[in-house]
Amino acid sequence: MSSDSPSYEQAAALVSAFATQLAKRVPPTERVALGAASTRVLAQQIRADRDQPPFARSTRDGFAVRATDASTHKFLRVVGSTRAGQAPAGPLPAGAAWEIMTGATVPEGADAVIMIEHVETAGDRVRLLPLQRVSSDENIVAQGAQARQGDELLPAGTAMAFAQLALAAACGCSAIDVFTRPRVAILTTGDELVPVASSPAAGQIRNSNAPMLAAMVTAACGEPWVLPTAADSAGALDKSLAAAAQADMLLISGGVSAGKFDLVEPALARAGAKFHFTGVRIQPGKPLVFGEIPGGTARSLPLFGLPGNPVSSAVTFLLFAAPVLTALAGRLHPGPRFALARLAKESDKHGKPGLTRFLPAFCNFNPPAGHLPEVALVPWQGSGDLAALARSNCFLVIPEEAHRLDAGAIVRILLP
């Protein structure tokens, strides 16, 4: 990291501007079955193919009435019945009631539904109980109240999750156009790394960043492409970088610190990379490298050199790589997600000055009503502590200028 490294805010602004430029490129599209569309980014608009609801719908089991008739509390004769799924029936004559089920079409002429729990029945007649009231429109959702036929319900660029899938299904989209997922090369580096299935010899560790980053890429709407691990040698890195040139984005893990075998930056330079920054004033993740390898054609390869410590890799991915990836995927509103929470316990006082910190923390997202979520740091042994990372569900943000945060303070948290 050079001494003039950008602050977190400066680096985030740079990445955000870069992502905005990328978002102008429209990715290619493909058609997928709706059932396979979760986490995919919509390439088309989804419009209402008919009014929603498509008919005036009862939200209760009970009796469709004219509110003025029912409000007399006199017995009304039940002249018909409609179940969910039946074609519209009616009309409802004046002074009568119509049996109706939840989800059924309200007969023409009725302007309210009285709940079955609120009536007294006598043979084929019902009346509203004396203590109950009913007003016009009660328990009815009017045709088109949620959306009109032709309304845009989802714009292109929407990431498909459960609610969007359900809405697309309601609009009759059994297949949808989505953007092809950007292929993200994941290149782990380090002589100490062995594959997950191997038994590490003395001094070796398993490669945990490859599966971690692959999962993070998938969650950020990309397609992971895990390359074989590169050894800490110039030759191995040159070869791996040449292979990665086929990707849409490149994540390198490890080899970006200042050590004797941190050879990634020179290898990137030999590959023709342009660097946007080579260090950020954050902890963990200070040595983060952000750049691109200009392509022969119009396309260049955005790249991040993530510090190899697992917590550093995770934090820098969320803060910087994910926004670039989501923009590349054609998704609207890329960018890390932050929220406010109340700090349960005073934070430690030993932060390095001048660095914004993002520390593994656990937040209770189910606070009592009227209270902010409460967050506490997870005890950790530094940025290699995967067990602490796995116990956390967010990162507590400690601003550059804050030496410590007091219990009860309202703080920002970075969401995964």
Residue 64 and residue 205 in contact, taking contact as beta carbons nearer than 8 Å: no
Q: d(Cα 123, Cα 130) in Å, to the nearest integer?
A: 18
Q: Any contact of residue 384 with ligand AMP (CB under 6 A)?
A: yes
Asked if 188 is part of the footprint of ligand AMP (rule: CB under 6 A), the reply reads yes
Give the span between the Cα atoms of 95 and 260, in whole angstroms. Answer: 91
Task: Choose between 52 and 257: whose C-beta lies nearer to ligand AMP.
Answer: 257
Q: Is 254 in the site for Mg ion (CB under 5 A)?
A: yes
Angle subtended at Cα 214 by Cα 213 and Cα 216, rounded to the nearest 5 degrees: 60
Handedness of CA 106, 110, 112, 114 (dihedral sign): negative
Nearer to ligand AMP, 228 or 259 (CB): 259
192 binds ligand AMP (CB under 6 A): yes
Judged by CB under 6 A, does residue 278 bind ligand AMP? no
Residue 208 binds which of ligand AMP, Mg ion, none (CB < 5-8 A, kind-dependent): ligand AMP
Name the burial class of residue 366, with classes exposed (0-12), middle (13-18) and buried (19+) by CB atoms within 10 angstroms of its CB: exposed
Closest CB to ligand AMP among 248 and 262?
262
- 58 lies in the site for ligand AMP, by CB under 6 A: no
- Indicate which single residue of 193, 247, 252, 319 sits in contact with ligand AMP (rule: CB under 6 A): 193
**Residue 309 contact, options Mg ion, ligand AMP, none, Cβ 5-8 Å cut-off depending on partner type:** ligand AMP
Is 319 in contact with 336 (CB distance < 8 Å)? yes
Rounded-to-integer distance, Cα 390 and Cα 317, Å: 16
Binding to ligand AMP (CB under 6 A) within 66-105 occurs at none
- Asked if residue 278 lies in contact with residue 262, where contact means CB atoms within 8 angstroms, the answer is no
Nearer to Mg ion, 27 or 287 (CB): 287
Out of Mg ion, ligand AMP, none, which partner does residue 265 contact, by CB within 5 to 8 A per kind?
none
Q: Strand, coil or helix: what is 20?
A: helix
Binding mask 185-224 toward Mg ion (x if CB under 5 A, else -) reads -----x----------------------------------
The gap from C-alpha 402 to its chain's centroid, in whole angstroms, comes to 29
Q: Interface mask (CB under 6 A) for ligand AMP, residues 111-130, using x and -?
A: --------------------
The CA distance from 396 to 345, in Å, is 12
What is the rounded CA–CA span in Å between residue 358 and residue 7? 13
Within residues 206-225, the interface with ligand AMP by CB under 6 A covers 207-210
**CB of 336 vs ligand AMP, minimal distance in Å:** 22
Stretch that binds ligand AMP, among 50-58, 156-164, 173-181, 303-311 (CB under 6 A): 303-311
Question: Which residues between 236 and 275 bind ligand AMP (CB under 6 A)?
Answer: 253-257, 259, 262
Sole binder of ligand AMP in the list 157, 224, 284, 308 (CB under 6 A): 308
Cα separations in angstroms, 107 against 60, 78, 82, 125, 278: 14, 13, 8, 18, 69
Binding site for Mg ion (CB under 5 A): 190, 254-255, 308
